[in-house]
Amino acid sequence: MTTISLFNTLHRRKEEFTPIDASNVRMYVCGPTVYDRAHLGNAKTPVVFDVLNRLLRHIYGDKHVTYVSNITDVDDKILNKHKETGKPIREITEQTYQWYVDDMAKLNVMAPDHRPRATEYIDEMIELVKLLLQNGHAYEAEGHVLFDVDSMPGYGYLSGRSMKEMLAGARIEVADYKKNPADFVLWKPSEADQPGWNSPWGYGRPGWHLECSAMSSKLLGNSFDIHGGGSDLIFPHHENECAQSMCAHPNDKFANYWVHGGMLMVDGVKMSKSLGNFYTIDEVLEKAPAEALRLLFLTTHYHQPFNFTFDGLAQAKATLDKFYNALLRVKGVVVEPQADERIVEALADDMNTPLALTYLHEIVGLLNKADTEEEQKKYKRLLLGSAALLGILFQSPEEWFKGDSNDDAEIEAQIAARAQAKKEKNYALADEIRNKLKEQGIVLEDTPQGTTWKKI
């Protein structure tokens, strides 16, 4: 069995991955807060962990992996959006949830085994707060329940920072009722017109950090294998998850491997609405197919900072054109996909997608040179099987080159008109139609079965 290694944030080094139970490998990845259109950062993390999910299933078996990625549907950002728009909170969360799910489908991100919503696990969150109070790690103050960071000697366990370092530059809510400025909210009071639930501490709602601890515990157990997310979540979110979970369940480890993706930048700087370089997924997909965006994410090692540019997106589109052209050449060759072991090994080595793509380019080159059917079958099999681990080349070549254009019917009509012109021996008109389509980036190919077309 192939051995996987992952960079474990917990120990700040690459480590061999050994699951708690190889018959049920368990992974939890923080999902989005559903209050608006998902942005590029919301896309990068799911793509990265989709590759890891595919790799785990390839090695351990599809039925032996449980992948959970949550949805935060109760949060102050959602309340603020409600105040801005006047829309009912339920309408906001349902609409933005569906936008996100649709975006993930376009990016060919496999649906997780569980996609829990925070509002479905309130009882579990209340029970977790009770445990923390009983264990002496939380306290009540002015209608709030807060985690007492001084009660945990190992606070800073994940980030490896001192209290002073953790507080510097962090978004810490200042409140007189806190014993320590770093103490964080487990439960907060809600106004009558705000989302809330009855609890032993009054009508209220959970703090952000509490949600993931409760949902991961319920669906994966108090100890599981991998916890993932973007590097921006290491502190305070993941640090506070560790604190809650380990103090509530002192005999368990919570997550053994913490895996974090690098920061996303746009044109070399951090993405920000104030800088005018903030892009939602749907805005980017107006410029290029979703598969090109997915491929672009994979060209940089997940642990490194990722720099998005539209030039890079165009290059990813051109690369996919090359890959799909190779498949178009052998479209009649039927194979059973099989992953190249070099690509499996590259991904097993801390998800080295750049190296995996280098091997994929080699396979495409060999497929283009293949003259015999035996060679064509060999390299097409390896190309499709390897690409599936990366989540690309999931369309037929014809679908890729036609794209999602609303002009398909018009193109087909022009092809029919050209066919009629040829039938009437009006070759000048037939050539004129072909040339006009070529000017629009549409290339025709006449075959014994009829005329096919693709975009270039």
The CATH number assigned to the domain holding 66 equals 3.40.50.620
Q: Of 57-61, 139-143, 161-165, 254-258, where does mean pLDDT reach its minimum?
A: 161-165
Q: What one-letter code names the amino acid at 271? A: M
DSSP H or E stretch at residue 389: helix 373-390
The answer, yes or no, to whether residue 56 has pLDDT greater than 70, is yes
Residues 47 and 163 in one domain: yes
Residues 208 and 334 in one domain: no
Concatenating the DSSP letter of every residue in 81-106 gives HHHHH---HHHHHHHHHHHHHHHHHH
The verdict on residue 272 lying in a domain is no
Q: What pLDDT score was predicted for residue 433?
A: 86
Give mean pLDDT, residues 222-248. 96
Residues 382 and 450 in one domain: no
Which residue do the tokens 């489908």 mark? 105
Q: For residues 439 and 13, what is the distance between their CA atoms, to the nearest angstrom?
A: 53
Looking at 245, 265, 285, the residue that finishes a domain is 265
The verdict on residue 109 lying in a domain is yes
Q: What one-letter code names the amino acid at 439? A: E
Strands 306-308 and 450-455, bridge-based pairing? unpaired
The verdict on residue 447 lying in a domain is yes
Q: For residues 4 and 65, what is the distance between their CA atoms, to the nearest angstrom?
A: 14
User: Above pLDDT 90, what percent of the chain?
Assistant: 81
Residues 392 and 440 in one domain: no
Q: Which residues contact 37 (CB under 8 A, 6 or more apart)?
A: 96, 99, 280, 281, 282
Positive or negative: CA dihedral 98, 104, 109, 114: negative
Residues 130 and 59 in one domain: yes
Q: Of 227-236, 293-302, 351-360, 443-452, where does mean pLDDT reach its minimum?
A: 443-452
| Distance linking the first and last C-alpha atoms of the chain | 42
Structure tokens at 436: 């006009």
Structure tokens at 325: 């052209």
Q: State the DSSP code for 21.
A: -
Q: What pLDDT score was predicted for residue 170?
A: 62
Q: For residues 287 and 147, what is the distance between their CA atoms, to the nearest angstrom?
A: 46
Concatenating the DSSP letter of every residue in 135-172 gives TTSEEEETTEEEE-GGG-TTTTTTT---HHHHHTT---
The verdict on residue 425 lying in a domain is yes
Give mean pLDDT, residues 389-405. 87
The verdict on residue 277 lying in a domain is no
Query: The domain spanning residue 370 has which CATH number?
Result: 1.20.120.640
Q: What pLDDT score was predicted for residue 456?
A: 66
Q: State the DSSP code for 62.
A: G
Nearest to 299 by CA among 250, 261, 257, 354: 354
CB of 401 within 8 A of CB of 437?
no
Q: Of 121-130, 145-154, 232-241, 402-411, where does mean pLDDT reach its minimum?
A: 402-411
If 0-12 CB within 10 Å is exposed, 13-18 middle and 19+ buried, where does residue 181 land? middle
Structure tokens at 324: 């799909």
Neighbours of 114 (CB within 10 A): 16
CB of 82 within 8 A of CB of 268?
no
Give mean pLDDT, residues 331-358. 97
Residues 374 and 450 in one domain: no
pTM of the model: 0.89
Looking at 400, 430, 445, the residue that finishes a domain is 400
Q: What is the CA radius of gyration of the chain?
A: 26
The verdict on residue 270 lying in a domain is no
The verdict on residue 255 lying in a domain is yes
Q: For residues 154 and 239, what is the distance between their CA atoms, to the nearest angstrom?
A: 11
Residues 348 and 431 in one domain: no
> Where is pLDDT greater, at 105 or 439?
105
Looking at 400, 418, 442, the residue that finishes a domain is 400
Give mean pLDDT, residues 421-447. 84
Q: For residues 296 and 291, what is the distance between their CA atoms, to the nearest angstrom?
A: 9
Mean pLDDT of the chain: 93
Neighbours of 209 (CB within 10 A): 21
Residues 127 and 213 in one domain: yes
User: Above pLDDT 70, what percent of the chain?
Assistant: 97
Neighbours of 381 (CB within 10 A): 20
Torsion of CA 222, 223, 224, 229, to 10 degrees: 70
**β-strand partners of 145:** 140, 187
Residues 413 and 379 in one domain: no
CB of 69 within 8 A of CB of 29?
yes
The answer, yes or no, to whether residue 406 has pLDDT greater than 70, is no
Q: What one-letter code names the amino acid at 412? A: E
Nearest to 28 by CA among 152, 185, 159, 214: 214
Residues 368 and 411 in one domain: no
Q: Give tens-digit pLDDT for 115-127.
A: 999 999 999 999 9
Q: Of 295-304, 386-395, 423-432, where does mean pLDDT reach its minimum?
A: 423-432
CA atoms within 13 A on the CB side of 222: 13
Q: For residues 348 and 7, what is the distance between their CA atoms, to the nearest angstrom?
A: 11
Residues 386 and 410 in one domain: no
Give mean pLDDT, residues 224-246. 96
Residues 55 and 130 in one domain: yes
The verdict on residue 279 lying in a domain is no
Range of 427's domain? 405-455
- Domain total for the chain? 3
